[in-house]
Every structure is written in structure tokens, then in C-alpha cells.
Amino acid sequence: MTSKTVAELLSQDVTLQDVSIKGWVRTFRAKRFIALNDGSTINNIQCVVDFENFDEAILKRITTGAAIHVKGELVESQGKGQSVEIVVKTLDILGDSDPETYPIQPKKHSFEFLRENAHLRTRTNTFSAVMRLRSSLSFAIHKYFNENGFNYMHTPIVTGSDAEGAGEMFKVTTLEAKNPPLNEDGTVNYKEDFFGKETNLTVSGQLEAETYAMSLGKVYTFGPTFRAENSNTTRHLAEFWMIEPEVAFMDLAGNMDLAEDFMKSVLSYILENNKEDLEFLDNRLQKEEEKLPQAQRSDMSLIEKIKFVVDNNFKRVSYTEAIDILRNCKPNKKKKFNYLINEWGADLQSEHERFLVEKHFKCPVILFDYPANIKAFYMRLNEPDAEGRETVRAMDILFPGIGEMVGGSQREERLEVLKEKMKALNIDEEELWWYLDLRKYGTAVHSGFGLGFERLVMFATGMSNIRDVIPYPRTPQNAEF
């Protein structure tokens, strides 16, 4: 007799004399029907106990959350809702679960409550489905890049540079906070720190990925990144996972093509391979929406939204066009935006991004050619436009319900232009000497982007809070588990 998973047993179309299965009890009904789940699928397998001939002491220990080992016969089910079930011959309790204290009872729990019990929340249908999808998407991402000739690169987690130049970094130090060694002028002497210099957790692997793109051609990273920004929103984490492809000899148009093809490919993968989990989450959302007034319900279900992205072209719109749309739109004219758009050069807030994707275009939008002074130092400068305005070859991909999903650009490959930009922004050339070297030796056009993995998981699962798509979220004032 071999042990099988619930997923394997449920996909079985034959009956089996002897099966053995281990899992956690979801419910035990009428002293007879155990709904058993082992995490391999959203579905439970029903195990039927002949309670009249069963040890009463054991029956009492079949409680929600208990781990059990069942041996029995797999038969066609008599009841509704499942094709097969197990007639239990023997049942061992592997681990008890006290019903008085076990937090995950068979009833609806709020996501807030489940966040506080994040170590147990994957024992619910919603979170097990979300985390299986997260795993599946990770695999699809590696598969896509592997099949398209990319090398997977591991960029350092501890770095001395600030890739985004935004200063939102977590320091890494072994110096004592209370009593650090000081220089003569009273500043901290980092020469005595572990690495002999100031270091921090990476905010992006991009700069190092560029070095490998300029030798291996096509590379990507997929790793944790850290931002010490004090944004307590449903879309920001202090620790999140980012996918960053970087490609030599590719310009901004190629970058957009790559990003679009990549996202469509990984979303197709889950449509194909995670049907049951997606259907479960789709139903869950529809039930949630039924509680809302008609006007607030979305026109498409979760699966329809994913299919829509896979089947339709992303809309490509320049920043300048977007500003024209925003300047003349109703919420701007009626002063409904918190930040009114008056002139070219304004940075876009999430209210503007949402208006563009959700109200105006109603599809994913790639915004490109942003004003130079609201974007990072490494982006390729365009020729000034007819009105003398300076833009860079940046692109952001905005998604309905999510906002910014991707940020990327063609990189500045010209040494002198890059140096001037760094000077203007007070970025130390000595710190990025190796980055500048790329422009000295065999420089070439190259581009890449970063996709926030959790935002992709949010879109794919319909979850509305980013804290619910990563196992253990790190946010301001919170690093439990």
C-alpha cells in the first residue's frame, strides 16, 4: 500500500482496495464524515467512519485541525459533492488539536484575524489557494525565462549602493547602536563596521543585473528586496520579491514587448494549471461582491480579468498623452483628485494611475517617456521634445485594481551623460565606479524592468491586501513570525 495525496486520490477514476492517506481534519460531521485536507488541493477527501464499531476515545479526538492517518478502501461516493470517498478501516491520530483553543474553526474568519494567525492561515481554503498560486507563478516565471534563453542571476542582498537613489534603505551594521566608534568630527566611523563601509539591504538588484546583462546577454533576478518607506498601504511591503530581467542590445520598445509577453505567459500558465484554486477564489470574490451595491461590483470575474489580460494588447501611452487625458478629465476639472494635474511635469499619484487604467482605458496600460526629473538617475535621456522638455525612456505598467505593477527603462549607456546626471543628483561616482565601467568598456543599449511579485499575486488571486499574498508580511511596526 502506498501513501497518496488527496489530489492524487481525487483524480483517480478507479476504486482501490487499500489506500493510505495523512492529512488534517477540516470538519467531522455526524460522527461519520471526516473532511480531510493535506494541502495538495483545494478539495477535501471524505473519509467515512463506521462510528458504531469504532473506539469512542478515538472518535473524540477527530477534531478540526488534528493530524490523522487513515487507511481504508477508495470507493465511489454515495453522497453528493464528491466522486470518490474512503471507507475507513483504521484511523490513527498523529497529532491532537484542542477544539477549545485551536484558532482556525470551520467558520468564516476575517483576514485581519488570520493575519494574526499567519502560521495557521494556510489551513484555510482561501490561503492555501493563494499560496499554491504563488508557488505556481514562481515556477512559471522561472520556466518563462529558462525557455527564452535567460540566465538566472543571484544579486547580493547586502549592498553598498542605493540602486533607486531614493534613500529608503535598511542599514546593515554590527556596530553597537548606543556606542558606535566615532571619527574626529563626531560622525560614525564605518571603517570599523563589519564590511568596512556603510551597507544596507538591497532595494533592487538592477545595477548588478546590468553588469551581467553586459556579458551574459539576457539575465534575470528573482529575489527579496527591501524598502524602508513608511507606506502603510494595501500595496506596499517593507520586504517584497522582485523579478528583474535585464537584456543587452534591447531598447525600450523591446522592453515593453518583453514585459507584456512575460506577464501574459505566466498568467496563461496558471489558467492552465491552477484551475481549481482559481475557480475557488473566483467564487469567493463573487460572493463578496454580492454584498456590494451594483455600481461597485466589477464587470468581470477574477478568471475573466486574467483572461482579458492574456488576450488583449496592453495600451501604450506616453506620459505627455496621459497628462493631456488627466488634465481634461472630469475628476480633475471637478477637483475630485487630491492632487490636481495642472501642468506637464507633475508626478502621477496612484489616484491618477487608477483613473487611467480603471476608468479611461479599462485595460493594462504601459506609460512611457516620463519627465527626466521625476525618475531615477540611470534612465536613458531622450532628445528634448519640440517644447524643450526633457524625458527619459522609462516605462511603468499599470494594472486595473493594482496600480503600478512594473517599473523599468532603457538604461543610460553614454558615460558622459550618466556622469552628468549623477553629479546633478549628488550620487558619488566613486561608489558606483564599477557601474560606470560598463559605460567605459563595450557599452551598448540595454534595458530591463522590475515586477513586484506580490502585486502580480494580488492580481492573479483577487486578494485586495498585499499582506495576504506573502506568507509573513513585513510592514511598518510589524515583523511577527
Point out which residues bind ligand 4AD (CB under 6 A).
163-164, 204, 206, 227, 229, 236-237, 240, 242, 244, 404-409, 448-450, 452, 454-455
User: Is the Cβ of residue 70 or residue 456 nearer to ligand 4AD in the bound state?
Assistant: 456
Q: Which amino acid is at 448?
A: G
CB of 420 to ligand 4AD, least distance (A): 20
CB of 396 to Mg ion, least distance (A): 6
- Bridge partner list, 37: 24
User: Is the Cβ of residue 407 or residue 462 nearer to Mg ion in the bound state?
Assistant: 407
Are the CB atoms for 269 and 136 separated by under 8 Å?
yes
Cα–Cα distance for residue pair 429/455, rounded to 1 Å: 34
| CA distances from residue 203 to 241, 252, 276, 480 in whole angstroms, order as listed | 10, 22, 35, 21
CB of 76 to Mg ion, least distance (A): 55
Q: Which amino acid is at 33?
A: F
Cα–Cα distance for residue pair 56/38, rounded to 1 Å: 24
Identify what 391 binds: ligand 4AD, Mg ion, none; CB under 5 to 8 Å per kind.
none
CB of 243 to ligand 4AD, least distance (A): 9
Residues in the chain: 481
CB of 238 to Mg ion, least distance (A): 16
User: Is the Cβ of residue 68 or residue 470 nearer to ligand 4AD in the bound state?
Assistant: 470
User: Is the Cβ of residue 229 or residue 324 nearer to ligand 4AD in the bound state?
Assistant: 229
- 97-108 burial, b at 16+ Cβ within 10 Å, e below that, comes to beeeeeebeeee
CB of 404 to ligand 4AD, least distance (A): 4
CA angle 90, 91, 92 (to 5 degrees): 125
* H or E stretch covering 457: helix 453-461
User: Is the Cβ of residue 70 or residue 163 nearer to Mg ion in the bound state?
Assistant: 163
CB of 292 to ligand 4AD, least distance (A): 26
Cα–Cα distance for residue pair 448/258, rounded to 1 Å: 9
Identify what 454 binds: Mg ion, ligand 4AD, none; CB under 5 to 8 Å per kind.
ligand 4AD
Cα–Cα distance for residue pair 17/71, rounded to 1 Å: 10
Q: Which residues neighbour 437 within 8 Å (Cβ) at sequence distance 6 or greater?
A: none
Identify what 204 binds: Mg ion, ligand 4AD, none; CB under 5 to 8 Å per kind.
ligand 4AD
Identify what 358 binds: ligand 4AD, Mg ion, none; CB under 5 to 8 Å per kind.
none
Are the CB atoms for 403 and 410 separated by under 8 Å?
no
User: Is the Cβ of residue 49 or residue 252 nearer to ligand 4AD in the bound state?
Assistant: 252
Span interacting with Mg ion, options 344-352, 353-361, 404-412, 415-423, rule CB under 5 A: 404-412
User: Is the Cβ of residue 371 or residue 407 nearer to ligand 4AD in the bound state?
Assistant: 407
User: Is the Cβ of residue 400 or residue 407 nearer to Mg ion in the bound state?
Assistant: 407
Q: Which amino acid is at 216?
A: L
Identify what 473 binds: ligand 4AD, Mg ion, none; CB under 5 to 8 Å per kind.
none
Span interacting with Mg ion, options 58-66, 205-213, 402-410, 418-426, rule CB under 5 A: 402-410
User: Is the Cβ of residue 23 or residue 452 nearer to ligand 4AD in the bound state?
Assistant: 452
User: Is the Cβ of residue 23 or residue 450 nearer to ligand 4AD in the bound state?
Assistant: 450
Lookup result for grid cell 476608468? 359
Identify what 448 binds: Mg ion, ligand 4AD, none; CB under 5 to 8 Å per kind.
ligand 4AD
Cα–Cα distance for residue pair 476/454, rounded to 1 Å: 17
Span interacting with Mg ion, options 134-142, 224-232, 355-363, 401-409, rule CB under 5 A: 401-409
Q: Name the closest residue to Mg ion (Cβ).
A: 407
Phi and psi (nearest 5°) for 303?
Answer: -65, -35
Determine if 407 is a binding residue for Mg ion (CB under 5 A): yes
Are the CB atoms for 204 and 245 separated by under 8 Å?
no
CB of 448 to ligand 4AD, least distance (A): 5
Strand bridging mode 199-201 / 171-172? antiparallel
What is the SS3 assignment for 410? strand
Phi and psi (nearest 5°) for 379?
Answer: -85, 145
CB of 359 to ligand 4AD, least distance (A): 21
CB of 411 to ligand 4AD, least distance (A): 8
Cα–Cα distance for residue pair 441/48, rounded to 1 Å: 71
Identify what 244 binds: Mg ion, ligand 4AD, none; CB under 5 to 8 Å per kind.
ligand 4AD
Identify what 256 binds: ligand 4AD, Mg ion, none; CB under 5 to 8 Å per kind.
none
- Shortest CA distance to 234 belongs to which of 462, 464, 461? 464
For the chain, the straight-line distance linking the first and the last C-alpha, in angstroms and rounded, comes to 38
* CA 224 to chain CA mean position, Å: 11
User: Is the Cβ of residue 280 or residue 319 nearer to Mg ion in the bound state?
Assistant: 319
Cα–Cα distance for residue pair 253/251, rounded to 1 Å: 6
| Positions in the binding site for Mg ion (CB under 5 A) | 407
